[in-house]
Structure 1
């Protein structure tokens, strides 16, 4: 570990964060994982729904079961597809002795069964042959219609548009047109990139890592072959791949012939699917931090809105569509996940909660070329929000901001007249070396003010130690001294919601935090903002991060027309623990 990283790690520990040097993790859709537990004779003991629906005894290799038990290490196998299976020519499986797979992101029931039978073997695959439901969910998230989804599913499964059209009983021309529109919606221009993006997202959220390692480790490709495969899967032509690697197009063609043979693929689209599967299996066989490994799409609605450059904005529209739209704004330490108590209270009062991941947070892409300290991250986030509102055909809406007040200001500037009633809960002042920075996290922000260069390194260290248990301990350290917050974190659902809103950081998606924290340090104080008579600002008397008097003084200068309230029994978590206070402010005339 470098000296700089050692210093930051100690600073993070001193600030109350329990950290580890664990690698980035992936978040998997549980329904995308086909896994089973078998005894030494190959008798099925337990299986996920995906495995039960798609696999049978013909996929299983008894010799590898015995070998895994004998060697006590994970093994990989490429199993030939039974003739009547529709999952493609072959599927990759991982075999592991039950105790060695204890850290894999598998359903709890399966892990419990494995722990109870240590002499058994876990078999796992993430092939699209067993995960069409996940792929269909990915199609819906990108806004594909029924025909486009059917074409996408068939193309990914069969490796090309022509066989997909034949299987669906439609013309090749119709299939091509539908696929072209689907690629526009996903934000790519070539079929391999379309297949790779949809397939990868169908598995869940995989960190931005070197996918070529999966091909080298699991399929035996050379370094150059793996690099070519990744470029082709990303949508580059042979000529573009050759130029990127500094070799001739003839070399790329020759290597591709070998790559297709090794990967048992016949098209670039089939290669892209293989790459996504190999990368997902590589991540799933690396230990993860408990339940951090699951991406719960059933509890969190998701859709993507595309920017002009093809990058994506992640949105959750909780509904109902008949409700009054209200934008719920996340803080710089969380993502778009809305706590269930606040969510239920808003819906019960007739609202339609909508939340958006700001650039670099959660599942929203960064804006290309926007470097920390060299742009206004809240202005670019406001551009995204306007695009989302236009896409959802929402002319005006209310706002509840649990942090992110600077973003609300930027949205007010960019879209005057589109914000109706606004409630800011515990808005953050800038990060400075002056004033009171309270509590463990306040100490860390004080260090940011002194040296903004450590922001990226510190959040990277924190994110690598993120799991539910550490989040619980971290919140206990943060909230000490605030009776309201100490009571709030006794609610396991509230803590779990906060954890879910943070865990995307563990996949390495930290750019949004870095951009906004850098801006907190460097941006000048904005001038007074007129036209905010319908804004309500709630400041907790027991905020464990900032002195409420300083917060009130700072924001009263900026929002002279707004109504301010110091909440005597409020804490840092007021928006999550006391939604009735938020609703009262939102409905105030």
Structure 2
């Protein structure tokens, strides 16, 4: 493939990514665009695109630059962290004990309306768009009752002070996030502030006439400005402009007031559904200072089970698991993979290194005689954990397992859109940062349901989902938890799986049992048997089910563990 063709492939995929970020209803186009030859990860262009994806998502995760300002019911500033003070003073005005002095008077009205909305709806948060003095760029923020401020954010304040009933907290995203978006529009493409303001309103869905009224200029003026925007695209600049404008649109969707538009509200990480009866998430400090998030289900004195989850999953197990495990005399330890959920990313993400986090927790808890349960693409991590646990690992159950590495497309894959997606993203793992961050920022509940239903492409899965529609809530909850902080864990897992080779199983002593559905669209049980060889002790193939095997037969899985 020529260099020119390679660049054309990259440009096509990138433009499609951002087009879909602006309109998630077109997400199938991502799968079509990914149908290109694998790109070299060391290509300068692809490295640049990956960096841009991280910039679009707000930079590297884990930065302590979220701004927080607590305002009393009377309007005075009660407390603020360093990031909040810096952003407000540089862009919005002054912080005074008697109140916030906004440079743009419209922000006072916005804050008043936010207070009113919180009172009327008894909500936990509303989203407000503040404007700087010259109306050149928006600054999106959450406004929430101060008492509902998440502990991690409250900890960034100088000191814990009493919170009155009317106190509110204003939470700003990282300043660099909005700066990058607007700078890319203004500086990269030479747009004037007036042209940038027009572009923002068009991305918000306003017509030219509505934009003219909002900007208080004539229709002819905005027409001339729009013509200037298109002229400045240049012959080779269209993808750059599309990208920058779509970044803006993606951020607007992520901080959109759900009641302000007809579209479905953006999904934010919340604890509900199965989470209502789940044990709390705990944090274990690893030897290198990173944190491993985990949940502890069942009987604290029960037989230990280590649960290794799949990609895009958290430590949340199906509703009722806590009581079921307790009744069966099991203690299920469920860890969240590095970079997923509330676990910190790993600087050197490999199967062995990520598995070592779970093993460290098991040893800290003094567990012995550990059974291991995993599903789908968690198989390689579970096998690594068994290797490191040695004689402490007694047996393993792999449900709907996936061998690591690239898998060729097959003719029958055309009827399974998510299967095609996974095959093609493994082929071009450098795109994983961008894809998962875009999905994370722009997903609505309706769109999320489309993904979940697409996953049920096997007839048996579709029938099970139709009979158990509440399963959608569980899938949404655990996926949402997995990307609540960042999509880095999902992207790291794709890059890891795409590398040649997998765990060295020559020293594996733990016997493996395979459960697999006969309608699994990704791979058959034969591929798992070929990979694992003599380590497979038993195989059970379930009729009329595919990748939803673990959902449908969860009680039987727990019973198998109890019988061991």
The Cα shift of 1:96 comes to 5.7
Which residue pairs with 2:176 in the alignment?
210
Structure 1 528/461 Cα, relative in aligned 2: closer, same or farther at 3 Å? same
Give distance in 2, aligned partners of 1:454 and 1:283: 21
In the TM superposition, what whole-angstrom CA distance separates every residue of 1:430-455 from its partner, at most 9, and x where no partner exists? 33225577311221223234433333
Q: Distance in 1 between matches of 2:339 and 2:121?
A: 34
Shift of 1:565: 0.9
Q: 1:358 touches 1:381 (CA, 8 Å); kept in 2?
A: yes
Give 3-state SS (helix, strand or coil) of 1:483's partner: helix
- Contact 2:57 2:438 (C-alpha < 8 Å) held by counterparts: no
Q: How many Å separate the matches in 1 of 2:94 and 2:148?
A: 20
Instruction: Provide the residue aligned with 1:387 in structure 2.
Output: 360
Report the Cα offset of residue 523 of structure 1.
2.5
Q: Which residue of 1 aligns with 2:208?
A: none
Corresponding residue number in structure 2 for 1:239: none
User: Structure 1, residues 92-117: CA drift from partner, whole Å, max 9, x if none?
Assistant: 99766699869x9x799446999xxx
Question: What SS does structure 1 have at the residue aligned with 2:176?
Answer: coil
Equivalent of 2:281, from 302, 325, 344?
302
TM-score by length of 2: 0.58
Match of 1:564, SS state, is strand
Deviations 1:164-204 (A, max 9, x none): 9xxxxxxxxxxxxxxxxxxxxxxxxxxxxxxxxxxxxx999
Alpha-carbon distance in structure 1 between the residues aligned to 2:142 and 2:427: 48
**2:134 aligns to what?**
none
Residues in 2 aligned to 1:392 and 1:424: alpha-carbon distance in whole angstroms: 24
Separation in structure 1 between the aligned mates of residue 124 and residue 385 of structure 2, nearest angstrom:
48
Aligned-pair CA distance for 1:384: 0.8
Q: Do the aligned residues in 1 keep the contact of 2:309 with 2:374 (CA within 8 Å)?
A: yes
Residues 478, 95 of structure 1: alpha-carbon distance in 2 compared, 3 angstrom cutoff: farther
Q: CA deviation at 1:408?
A: 0.7
- Specify which of 530, 550, 558 is matched with residue 554 of structure 1: 530
Aligned to 1:509: 486
For the residue of structure 2 that corresponds to 1:308, the secondary structure is coil
What SS does the aligned partner of 1:361 have?
coil
| Whole-Å separation in 2 of the counterparts to 1:501 and 1:303 | 16
Partners of 1:408 and 1:98 in 2: how far apart?
49
Q: Secondary structure at the match of 1:354?
A: strand
The partner residue of 2:302 within 305, 315, 323 is 323
Within 5 Å, give how 1:193-208 maps onto structure 2.
none
Deviation of 1:342 after TM superposition, in Å, equals 4.7
Residue matched to 2:549: 574
- 2:515 is matched with 538
**2:385 matches 1:418:** no
Q: In structure 1, how many angstroms separate the alpha carbons of the residues matched to 2:15 and 2:329?
A: 51
How far residue 560 of structure 1 moved from its aligned partner, in angstroms, is 2.9
Partner of 1:429: 403
Aligned to 1:86: none
Post-superposition offset of 1:293: 2.5
Equivalent in the alignment of 1:399: 372
- Equivalent-residue separation in structure 1 for 2:144 and 2:383 (angstroms): 44
1:204-353 → structure 2 map (5 Å cutoff): 210=176, 287=257, 290=265, 292-296=267-271, 299=276, 301-353=280-332
Contact 1:382–1:407 (CA under 8 A) maintained in structure 2: yes
Sort the Cα spacing of 1:433 and 1:587 in 2 relative to 1 into closer, same or farther, 3 A.
Answer: same
Q: Which residue of 2 aligns with 1:360?
A: 339
**Contact 1:382–1:410 (CA<8 Å) still a contact in 2?**
yes
Q: How many residues align?
A: 406
Partner SS for 1:416: helix
Deviations 1:369-401 (A, max 9, x none): x2xxxx6x2111111112222333333422221
Q: Distance in 2 between matches of 1:314 and 1:413?
A: 22
Q: Following the alignment from structure 1 to structure 2, what is the Cα–Cα distance between the partners of residues 154 and 14? A: 44
Residues 221-241 of structure 1: CA deviation (Å, up to 9, x unaligned): xxxxxxxxxxxxxxxxxxxxx
* Distance 1:443-1:124 versus aligned 2 partners, 3 A rule: closer
* Root mean square deviation, CA, Å: 5.1
Q: Show the counterpart of 2:159.
A: 156
Equivalent in the alignment of 1:131: 147
**Cross-structure match for 1:585:** 560
Distance 1:388 1:453, change over 3 A: same
Residue 28 of structure 2 aligns with which residue?
13
2:469 is the counterpart of 1:466: no
Contact 1:323 1:351 in 2 (8 A): yes
Report the CA distance between 1:540 and its aligned residue.
0.9
Offset of 1:79 from its aligned partner? 8.0
State the distance in 1 between where 2:432 and 2:254 align: 29
CA contact (8 A) 2:299 2:325 kept: no
In structure 1, the gaps of 5 or more residues are 26-33, 36-50, 62-74, 83-88, 115-122, 140-151, 159-163, 165-201, 215-281
**Deviation at 1:325?**
2.5
Residue 229 of structure 2 corresponds to none
CA offset digits 1:457-505 (Å, max 9, x no partner): 3333333332322121112122133224432355343211211221256
